């Protein structure tokens, strides 16, 4: 009889402990405290040829759920390059729409030669709002960018343009947090704002994305 009573007491004691642990696990799961996408570091990896100097994934403006992704690069590809419109693609999963989707973007300046060390920017607008990540969530993007290798255009040394150059593609991956819209001066948003003195000569970043 005494053994049975001791067993019941043990069960009651440990059942409370198990219940507390289960409640703790449920709280962690509900609030996603240890969600991997929130603790992975931000990084932008395109290899040594095109290094990301700036990247930002945020609301396009303060009154919409439309999203905007901006990346600014330095040309370290070893040759002069140029871009055509709508030749960049970003692949997302669960961003914009449920599932895997591609969105087309443009790298700029378009049809302007970017020499070694020069900057260029790529912008993608994600206009779909079916699936919008929560602020602070780390989102993965796979990106491919097509450019023209000016050094392969036989007329480039004579006319300064390189529309006949060979087309090449660079591939990269970006992990970055989704953030609320914040206005940034001097091309933090990728656009020139003449009202605050941003011009294509005073701001090299917004040289890439002029209005």
> Would you kindly state where each structural domain of the chain is located, as residue ranges?
2-34, 37-182
How far apart (Å, rounded) are the C-alpha atoms in residues 203 and 117?
15
Kindly tell me if the per-residue pLDDT of 105 is higher than 50: yes
Highest mean predicted confidence (pLDDT) among 69-73, 168-172, 186-190: 168-172
Q: What's the predicted TM-score (pTM) here?
A: 0.72
Position 48 scores a pLDDT of: 78
Position 211 scores a pLDDT of: 36
pLDDT by residue (tens digit) across 135-144? 999 999 999 9
Neighbours of 11 (CB within 10 A): 10
Averaged pLDDT for residues 60-79: 89
Burial degree of 27 (CB within 10 A; 0-12, 13-18, 19+): exposed
Q: Which CATH number fits domain 37-182: 2.60.40, 2.40.160, 1.10.600, 3.40.50?
A: 2.60.40
Measured in whole angstroms, the distance separating CA 64 from the mean position of its chain's CA atoms is 18
């Amino acid at each position: 009889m005494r053994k049975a009573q001791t067993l019941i007491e043990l069960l009651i004691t440990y059942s409370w402990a198990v219940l507390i642990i289960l409640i703790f696990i449920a709280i962690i799961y509900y609030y996603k405290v240890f969600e991997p996408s929130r603790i992975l570091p931000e990084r932008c990896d395109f290899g040594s040829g095109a290094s990301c100097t700036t990247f930002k994934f945020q609301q396009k403006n303060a009154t919409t759920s439309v999203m905007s992704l901006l990346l600014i690069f330095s040309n370290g590809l070893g040759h002069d390059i140029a871009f055509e419109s709508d030749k960049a693609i970003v692949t997302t999963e669960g961003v914009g729409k449920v599932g895997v989707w591609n969105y087309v973007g443009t790298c700029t300046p378009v049809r302007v030669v970017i020499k070694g060390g020069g900057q260029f920017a790529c912008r993608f607008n994600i206009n779909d709002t079916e699936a919008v990540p929560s602020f602070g969530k780390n989102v993965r993007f796979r990106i491919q960018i097509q450019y023209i290798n000016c050094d392969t255009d036989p007329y480039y040394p004579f006319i300064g343009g390189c529309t006949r150059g060979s087309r090449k593609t660079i591939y990269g991956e970006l992990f970055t947090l989704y953030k609320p819209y914040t206005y940034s001066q001097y091309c933090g948003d990728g656009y020139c704002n003449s009202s605050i003195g941003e011009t294509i000569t005073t701001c090299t970043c917004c040289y890439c994305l002029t209005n």
